Amino acid sequence: MTTTISGWGNYPRQESQCTTPPNAALLRSTVIQEGSFIARGMGRSYGDSASANKVLGTTCCNHFIYFDEHTGKLTAESGITLREILTVIVPKGWFLPVTPGTSYVTLGGAIASDVHGKNHHIAGTFGQHVTALNLVLGTGEFLTASKHENADLFYATCGGMGLTGIIISATIQLIPIRSSFINQKTIKADCIEAACEAFIENNNTTYSVAWIDCLAKGRNLGRSVLMLGEHAKEGGLEIELKEPIAIPFNVPSALLNSMTMKTFNTIYWHKATDKPHNAVPLMPYFYPLDAIGNWNRIYGKAGFLQFQCVLPKSDGVANMRKLLTEVSNSGEGSFLAVLKQFGKANDNLLSFPTEGYTLALDFKLNASTIQTVKSLEAMVVSMGGRIYLTKDAVMQETTFKATYLNWEKFEAVREKYGAIGKFSSAQSKRLGLA
């Protein structure tokens, strides 16, 4: 059946033949049919990485397989959401080793994007906590990959954007918790230099992330509110899941303009105060936007582009100032801008994080947006940084190949395991992958 699909940014849209097989066996029999596919879970990557002419939905393969409550090893099918995993593991005293900013992503998606969280500087990416995964290859063969078995396939699949095969199930190592609360500490930093300084000072804190006012200029440029967190030791292990408030329609785009966003950001900045400690439940701490279903609709019918880059640690602060100057001069930045310090890179071939600073912003789509993003892209390349594939919808092939230096190794692994010609997305074609 043909439907119109897009990523979370509602841009670009495309006609696609989508099937969601009810189980892994039928998923396999679809893969061996004619044509090339891309796996799609919750559709939460922002651009076109889960879009293709033929899409294979994984959301019916959403079963738990095994959970060892004593060791914290969890095996589940790839279409299960992190949200569902949390309902089972938190009451038993376990938590995800790494979590992105929404719980509405699938396990398979988290691995394919090799997602990172507020603890990247300490825990690395999601893929680093995967002990094994099972894939359906382009040949229809089921294969297990881990750091010890078919390791080349494993390092290509974690962060491999679904281009090596379809992840059927995975085993992850959870982390123990004693409470479902987070002790949160808030620090205000009045410019980008102070914000980066604060990250370094708090390098030992488990979770750290900053909301950044990307519209502030001059001496306020890069003013940020740092939110630090540690797992609490008390408060019980209950987890409360609220159904999100729905935004039933696209918000008229005129409502979100540089004036309203500037006002929002200014109020947000002045409302924030330095707070030593307050305990907040897990869900609103890690997933504040999950409280609103379809928050992507606030950007109107045209959709939005998300831009996330990482800049290397050396000259990182000075470069970040240059980048932010460009953003604030464009006047197009949004209120959902995030700054974070990354720890060391890992061995996955296409994994995004490298040591330095990462900045993520949304741009409501209009005539000049793509140009703005392209000029930021050029700056990032010249600064030795790169752009997160999961958020990307417009990156050029030359940028990709100049910044993801392992792309040829990645292609060799795809060749070896029969993925070429079987798995491709609109993004992989744009980026010049076979």
Partner 1 sequence: MKKVLIIGATSAIAEHCGRIWATRGDELYLVARNEVHLQTIAADYEVRGASSVAINCVNLNELDRHVDLLESAENAMNGVDVVLIAYGTLSNQKECELSVEETLAEIQTNALSTISLLTLIANRFEAKKSGTICVMSSVAGDRGRASNYVYGSAKAMVTAFTSGLRQRLHKSNVTVVTIKPGFVDTPMTSEFKKGFLWVKPYVVAASIVQAINKNRAEIYVPSFWWLIMLCVKLTPSIVFKKMKM
The conformation of residue 114, written as its DSSP 8-state character, comes to T
Contacts 24+ apart (CB under 8 A), 381-384: 383/311, 383/312, 383/315, 383/319, 383/322, 383/323, 384/311, 384/312
CB of residue 22 to partner 1, shortest distance in Å: 4
- Beta bridge partner(s), residue 96: none
CA pair distance 257, 215, nearest whole angstrom: 12
Contact 296, 9 (CB under 8 A): yes
Strands (E), 177-289: 181-189, 207-212, 224-231, 245-246, 275-281
CB of residue 81 to partner 1, shortest distance in Å: 11
Q: Which DSSP string corresponds to 57-93?
A: E-TT---EEEEETTTTEEEEETT-BHHHHHHHHGGGT
Residue 66 or residue 268: which is nearer to partner 1 going by CB? 66
Residues 6+ apart with CB under 8 A from 41: 50, 57, 58, 59, 78, 79, 81, 105, 106, 108, 109
CA pair distance 198, 59, nearest whole angstrom: 40
CB of residue 95 to partner 1, shortest distance in Å: 16
Cα 227-331-45 angle, rounded to 5 deg: 60
CB of residue 77 to partner 1, shortest distance in Å: 8
Gap between the terminal Cα atoms of the chain: 26
Residue 84 or residue 362: which is nearer to partner 1 going by CB? 84
Residue 61 or residue 112: which is nearer to partner 1 going by CB? 61
Residue 1 or residue 255: which is nearer to partner 1 going by CB? 1
256 in helix, strand or coil?
coil
Residue 105 or residue 338: which is nearer to partner 1 going by CB? 105
Strands (E), 336-385: 338-342, 356-364
> Tell me, what amino acid is at 75?
T
Cα 141-144-146 angle, rounded to 5 deg: 145
CB of residue 402 to partner 1, shortest distance in Å: 42
Residue 61 or residue 419: which is nearer to partner 1 going by CB? 61
* Contact residues for partner 1, defined by CB under 8 A: 1, 19-20, 22-23, 25, 60, 63-67, 76-77, 87-88
Residue 87 or residue 203: which is nearer to partner 1 going by CB? 87
CA pair distance 121, 182, nearest whole angstrom: 18
> Tell me, what amino acid is at 433?
L
CB of residue 11 to partner 1, shortest distance in Å: 22
CB of residue 25 to partner 1, shortest distance in Å: 7
CB of residue 149 to partner 1, shortest distance in Å: 22
CB of residue 92 to partner 1, shortest distance in Å: 9
CA pair distance 397, 376, nearest whole angstrom: 15
Neighbours of 26 (CB within 10 A): 14
CB of residue 244 to partner 1, shortest distance in Å: 14
Residue 83 or residue 364: which is nearer to partner 1 going by CB? 83
Residue 68 or residue 397: which is nearer to partner 1 going by CB? 68
Residue 23 or residue 382: which is nearer to partner 1 going by CB? 23
